[in-house]
Amino acid sequence: MGKRARTEQAKQARAQAILEKAKEMLLTTSYEQIKMADLAKSLGLSNGTLYVYFPSKEALFLQLLWQEFEDRMKCLEQLASLCPLRSFADLQDLILRALDRLMQDRPLFIYLETMRIMVLESSLRGDAFRPERERLKMRLDGWVDQLAAGGVLSRAQLQEIFSTAVALLAGFYLRGRVWCLAGGAAPSPEAMRNDVLTGMRCYLEGYALYLQPQAGELKGV
């Protein structure tokens, strides 16, 4: 592992090995406690070699977030293909199932997304990771277009709901972290899951009522 990777394939494999080790460490300790020197040592790399692949700790974990986002998109695309939208009730079921899957399968995505703007992106150039951003934006746009094709809601309305779901999830997660910092007990994963799903269900029910007088009718409501 300590030898220099010479081929492009070897470089990609090493970069992925670094990300996997960072992911492993993040599952057992906090972001603040992880040191790049410790990460390099655990992989048998020099500090200089590690920084060749990732110029900063923020860049490394932002790249890990993009990978988690890609995995999340695969889940969303799979759910959308299995649950065609014929009514608002179908959409509500899809969103709640997607949130539930995210909390169960992608805890690192939630953790990293809550500190993306204030921590991970704050020290990076505005054009950092532009290819990754554009690629994931295209996938998200494609997913929204797929849902909008059912005619239940417009593209803009679906994007609004999607953004609210992410914000709601991040808000409940950050609330738990604040409680811990204040010396309180963190909510259990099951309690957080119930809070998030209940909050999103109430939001969707309110959204349906908000749309009814504008549209005259809303499928499935």
Residue 159 and residue 209 share a domain: yes
For residues 64 and 18, state if they share a domain: no
Domain CATH for 125: 1.10.357.10
Residues 67 and 160 in one domain: yes
Domain that holds residue 8: 1-54
Do 97 and 190 fall within a single domain? Answer: yes
Q: Are residues 8 and 76 in the same domain?
A: no
Looking at residue 109, its pLDDT comes to: 87
pLDDT the model gives residue 83: 75
- Residues 78 and 106 occupy one common structural domain: yes
pLDDT for res 213: 66
Q: Tens digit of pLDDT for each residue in 172-191?
A: 888 877 777 777 777 788 88
Q: How many domains is the chain built from?
A: 2
Which pLDDT tens digits describe the chain residue by residue (221 residues)? Answer: 455 567 889 889 999 999 999 999 998 998 999 999 999 999 999 999 999 999 999 999 999 999 998 888 888 888 888 877 889 999 999 999 989 988 888 788 888 888 887 888 887 766 666 787 788 888 889 889 988 888 889 999 999 998 999 889 888 888 877 777 777 777 788 888 999 999 999 999 999 888 876 554 444 55
Residue 111 lies in a domain: yes
Give the per-residue pLDDT at 15.
Answer: 95
Instruction: Answer whether residue 75 is part of any domain.
Output: yes
Residue 221 inside a domain? The answer is no
Final residue in a domain of this structure, among 36, 54, 72: 54
Asked which of 54, 70, 94 is the last residue of a domain, the reply is 54
Q: What long-range pairs does 81-89 form, CB within 8 A, spacing at least 24?
A: 84/150, 85/147, 85/150, 85/152, 86/150, 86/152, 86/219, 86/220, 87/152, 87/219, 87/220, 87/221, 88/152, 88/153, 88/208, 88/218, 88/219, 88/220, 88/221, 89/220, 89/221
Report how far residue 194's alpha carbon sits from residue 175's, in angstroms, rounded to the nearest whole number.
14
Distance, CA of 145 to CA of 122 (rounded, Å): 31
Residue 43 covered by a domain: yes
115 and 207 co-located in one domain = yes
CATH of the domain at 37: 1.10.10
Pair (19, 101) in one structural domain: no
Do 77 and 147 lie in one domain? The reply is yes
* Same domain as 69, residue 39: no
Q: Does pTM top 0.85 for this prediction?
A: no
Residue 20 lies in a domain: yes
Separation of alpha carbons 200 and 15, rounded Å: 37
Q: Does 62 lie in the same domain as 49?
A: no
Same domain? 62 vs 161: yes
Over the stretch 125-157, which tens digit does the pLDDT of each residue have?
666 667 877 888 888 898 899 888 888 899 999
